[in-house]
A and B are shown apart, each in its own frame.
Chain A
């Protein structure tokens, strides 16, 4: 298991085209987010055919839910971005206006994030102490 994870992570590095050290680090960081997003998308159960789902922490203040549904050749995209600010939690859907998040929704989001954290840590970063 750990050997497989290590090989996977090292393969991420191999896919990053070496440019400047800073660019390489940024590419690596984005690659890790993409892998986390895939794990996060699995938290909500199996996706029906034609549905691609991602859920991930973008940075210290932002959580993203992204879903693409392909039906009859058309792709519908829904992106929900949660901004966790000191004053409260706001969300925007598909880049529209921000709205505040109810305490119930924030509570469920927190539970989702806790499971995401647990899975990402266990499946991608087991070599880092909690």
Chain B
């Protein structure tokens, strides 16, 4: 989708946005941001998926993909559960991500 298409689509959505238009500058920047996030996610996924694919034959349903889908659907709220009773002041990112994975 190019910027012009994006702008037109946003114009169409204006009524459901309460009549407050999102300016074209924001639309353009928002599209660039989403594009950057999509790209880095896609590139990272390549590295993550490669090793399990090479190490073990894939079953009919890819468990890694299923796990990812489940984690995404669980959302951030689930992540927070493990931190409620923990009073440590500092974590490494890997610790945070590992805890999120275990929740």
Which residues of A come within 8 Å of B, CB atoms? 2-3, 6-7, 9-10, 12-13, 24-25, 28-29, 32-33, 36, 42-46, 48, 50-51, 57, 59-63, 65, 67, 69, 71, 76, 78, 80, 84, 86, 88-89, 103, 105-121, 124-125, 127-129
| Residue with the highest number of chain B CB atoms closer than 10 Å, among A50, A107, A114 | A107
For the residues of A in contact with B, the DSSP-based class is: helix
Residues of B close to A43: CB separation below 8 A: 76, 79, 100
Which residues of chain A have C-beta atoms less than 8 A from B83's C-beta? Answer: 44-46
Which residues from chain B sit less than 8 Å from chain A, CB to CB?
Answer: 1, 6, 9-10, 13, 16-18, 20-23, 25-41, 43-45, 47-48, 51, 64, 68, 71-72, 75-76, 79-80, 82-84, 87-91, 93-94, 96-98, 100-101
B76 touches A28 (CB 8 A): no
Q: Choose among A42, A60, A107, A129 the residue that contacts B76 (Cβ–Cβ < 8 A).
A: A42
A62 with B30: CB separation less than 8 A: no
Count: A-B pairs, CB below 8 Å: 167
A107 to B33, CA, bound (A): 22
Residues of B within 8 A of A67 (CB): 90
Known contacts A25-B29, A129-B9; is-contact A109 B97 (Cβ 8 Å): yes
- CB-based contact B30/A88 at 8 Å: no
In the complex formed, the residue of A with least CB distance to B93 is A65
Chain A residues with Cβ below 8 Å from B44 are: 63, 84, 89, 106, 109-110, 113
Whether the Cβ atoms of A108 and B98 lie closer than 8 Å is: yes
A-B contact pairs, 18 of them (CB 8 A): A2-B16, A3-B18, A9-B26, A29-B32, A29-B33, A45-B80, A48-B88, A48-B89, A59-B40, A60-B40, A65-B93, A67-B90, A103-B47, A111-B71, A114-B41, A118-B72, A120-B33, A128-B31
